[in-house]
Chain A
């Protein structure tokens, strides 16, 4: 699973760029978030495909004027603040948060869909969005 942040400028707004790329490559993408403002737009997509296909998608998008950033970190967890209580674990809809054998918190970035329920659920305010 690779997460890409697609940043549209005012010129690329209004064109079905992502749809074109999906049709052209035949690779399904999961849109996690989309925002549009008068001068720009952003889409966060999750893609399950081999590396060379992802690179192909990135170059296609860039050719169509979209700025593509690969997301490597979604959440920042302050390990000094985290008490391993578990308040973030059961509400997570994709089971991205679990406890390790030694009771430290384990976060599986690949499963995260950036819904933010853990950010709110953490009593210690130890979790925040990395961007």
Chain B
């Protein structure tokens, strides 16, 4: 039975009776799995080359693995087409049988006299094309929303401002790793459906975190036997490229614990709705939500109902579970016993940055010139000239920020013949706080197309000012540039 069918069957007849009737439950998922890629072996040209740099359709692959082995990662970007084409698309094109442009550079040695190669290849020309994905099939995934006032383009899709929509990922009750959530049948050597062909689990995936139901698997399969229907290159708008991978795992119901896990329904599988408006790895959860509610297409957030949709395809996930069921029934696919089970506990640590990274307090100016809302425009104009500044924060009697005036606003006031600061100042001021990392502040300046941010404390009292001039010295070449 597919997991969908088993859940219904167990609801009707009880898990115990259902487990007696059913031997194997098939599962499926089809979603963006960024941590994917292929090992390719090209064979040797004449004269041969030791490829330490390699491009496939202008997408860089990692050489430096002997002479003609490379690894192409799903998220590598085309050097000519940017976010519209990448490693995931090359993998799909290989599986579709398309011709791929291969370019390689090598350093000349007695063994490898060639320094440059340019040719076209298809999947049939390759000795090996092995899909090897370090982290696939999250057990579940956080759902995403956005409480800021601008549209966010995230790896969880397009998130409207003011939490007007929710996106989620994962197939819930069809999810392969939730159907044996304690990893009693899944392990190294488990034979699986992978990209339309047959593959194997070769270990726990990176960031495997089973104690929090964020387990993952590492998988391997022969790309030559896969199907482009279940391996699709994707562009996540303004985020990057990825690969949609289809995975299905058969779960043999070896004991009641596994049967109970396999019988878990969408109503019983929960995840968090997380605010992706917070640019930190510690994003707050707004509430818990079941996959049943997520799949209904509407989610209640505070007191409003907002549309909710998925990034992974439930339709294709169901097809995978059905296909795997058919393969097993027809004797085309045999279950395998794992040689070692996956760990049921694993530490998942963040990266600690040991070098000191400058924060707002390191670049802000503290001797700030402010004005009161009752001041005359001319007074502020004089301050700007006298102190050679561009921004004058406007504060109330307690020093709390109520607005900001720039030299541009003053010019506008002159043009309109206005004398009142209240008329010309910006009242909804974008601010920074003292401990924020500079990268976050730089992105905020650029998102809002402004050149200065007042720094405020918890009670909105102004304590400093950060401007693009002050930040300019940090914008050296060592910083990563956005590729679009």
* Bound Cα distance A79, B353 (Å): 46
Chain A nearest CB, measured from B272 CB (Å): 17
> Please, which residues of chain A bring their CB within 8 A of the CB of B312?
85
Q: Return the chain A residue nearest B32 by Cβ.
A: A123
Q: Which of A58-73 contact B (CB under 8 A)?
A: none
Taken together as a complex, chains A and B put the C-alpha atoms of A92 and B30 apart, in Å, by: 22
In the assembled complex, the Cα of A102 lies from the Cα of B237 at a distance in Å of 27
9-residue interface stretch from B108-116, B159-167, B254-262, B335-343: B159-167
The reply to whether the CB of B31 lies closer than 8 angstroms to some CB of chain A is: yes
**Quick check: A123 and B311 within 8 Å, CB to CB?**
yes
Q: Does B309 contact A (CB under 8 A)?
A: yes
Asked if residues A91 and B160 are in contact (CB atoms below 8 Å), the reply is: yes
- Candidates A83, A89, A98; contact of B30 at CB < 8 Å: A83
A99-129: contact bitstring with B at CB < 8 Å (1 yes, 0 no)? 1001110000000000001001101110000
Among candidates A98, A103, A125, residue contacting B235 with C-beta atoms closer than 8 Å = A125
* A85 touching B313, Cβ below 8 Å: yes
Q: Which residue of A lies closest to B30 (CB)?
A: A83
Q: Are B237 and A121 in contact (CB under 8 A)?
A: yes
Contact A99 B297 (CB under 8 A): yes
Residues of B within 8 Å of A125, CB to CB, are 84, 235
Residues of A within 8 A of B238 (CB): 120
Q: Measured between C-beta atoms, what is the minimum distance from A122 to chain B in Å? A: 8
Separation of A88 and B311 alpha carbons in the complex (Å): 9
A89 touches B315 (CB 8 A): no
User: Which chain B residues border A87 with CB–CB below 8 Å?
Assistant: 157-158, 167, 309-311
Residues of B within 8 A of A123 (CB): 32, 234-236, 242, 244, 311
CB of B263 closer than 8 Å to a CB of A: no
Q: With A83-B315, A99-B297, A121-B157 in contact, is A89–B232 under 8 Å at CB?
A: no
The CA of A86 and the CA of B158, in the complex, are separated in Å by: 11
Residue-by-residue, is B307-338 near A (CB-CB < 8 Å gives 1, otherwise 0)?
11111111110100000000000000000000
Q: Closest CB of chain A to B300's CB: distance in Å?
A: 14
Residues of B within 8 A of A88 (CB): 309
The reply on A56 being an interface residue by CB < 8 A is no
- A93 CA / B313 CA spacing, docked (Å): 21
What residues of A have a CB within 8 angstroms of the CB of B318 in the complex? 103
Residues A86 and B311 in contact, CB atoms below 8 Å apart: yes
Residues of chain A lying within 8 A (CB to CB) of residue B314: 84, 86, 103
Report which of B158, B306, B315 forms a contact with A120, defined as CB distance below 8 A: B158
A91 to B315, CA, bound (A): 20
Once the chains are docked, how many angstroms separate the CA of A89 from the CA of B166? 10
Residues of B within 8 A of A85 (CB): 30-31, 244, 310-313
The CA of A117 and the CA of B307, in the complex, are separated in Å by 15
Residues of A within 8 A of B167 (CB): 87, 90
Residue contact A91 to B157, C-beta cutoff 8 Å: yes
Choice from A93, A98, A103, A117 contacting B315 with Cβ under 8 Å: A103
- What CA separation (Å) do A89 and B164 show in the bound complex? 12
Contact A91 B158 (CB under 8 A): yes
Roughly how many angstroms separate A125 CA and B158 CA in the complex, as a whole number? 14
List of B residues within 8 angstroms of A95 by Cβ: 307
Q: How far is the CB of B99 from chain A (nearest CB, A)?
A: 20
Q: How far is the CA of A47 from the CA of B236 in the complex (A)?
A: 34
Q: Indicate whether A120 sits within 8 Å of B313 (C-beta atoms), given known contacts A83-B30, A90-B167, A125-B84.
A: no
A86-B309, A123-B236, A124-B234 as given contacts; A91 in contact with B244, CB under 8 Å: no
> What residues of chain B lie closer than 8 Å to A93, measured between beta carbons?
160
Q: Is the CB of A90 within 8 A of B307?
A: yes
Minimum CB–CB distance from A116 to chain B (whole Å) comes to 11
Residue of A at shortest CB range from B144?
Answer: A90
A123 to B157, CA, bound (A): 9
Q: B306 to nearest A CB, angstroms? A: 8
- Decide: A124 and B158 in contact? CB cutoff 8 A: no
B309 neighbours in A (Cβ, 8 Å): 86-90, 99
Q: A90-B165, A99-B297 are in contact. Are A84 and B84 (CB under 8 A)?
A: no
Within 8 A of A (CB), among B16-41: 30-32
Chain A residues lying within 8 Å of B244, measured Cβ to Cβ, are 83, 85, 123-124
- A7–B421 Cα distance when bound, in Å, is 45
The smallest beta-carbon distance between B291 and chain A, in angstroms, is 13
A90 lies within 8 A of B308 (CB) = yes
Shortest CB distance A94–B (Å): 11
Q: Could you tell me if B234 and A104 are in contact, using CB atoms closer than 8 angstroms?
A: no
User: Closest CB-CB distance, A126 to chain B, in whole Å?
Assistant: 10
Cα of A95 to Cα of B158 in the assembled complex, Å: 15
- Tell me the complex Cα distance, A124–B2, Å: 27
CA distance A84 to B295 in the complex (A): 13
Q: Which residues of the other chain, A, contact B165 by a CB distance below 8 angstroms?
A: 90-91
Taking beta carbons and an 8 Å cutoff, which residues of A are in contact with B?
A: 83-93, 95, 98-99, 102-104, 117, 120-121, 123-125
A-B contact pairs, 15 of them (CB 8 A): A83-B30, A83-B315, A85-B311, A85-B313, A86-B309, A86-B314, A87-B309, A89-B297, A90-B157, A90-B160, A90-B167, A91-B165, A103-B314, A117-B158, A120-B238
Beyond A87-B158, A104-B315, 12 additional contacts (C-beta under 8 Å) are A83-B315, A84-B315, A85-B310, A86-B309, A86-B314, A89-B297, A89-B307, A91-B160, A93-B160, A103-B314, A123-B235, A123-B236
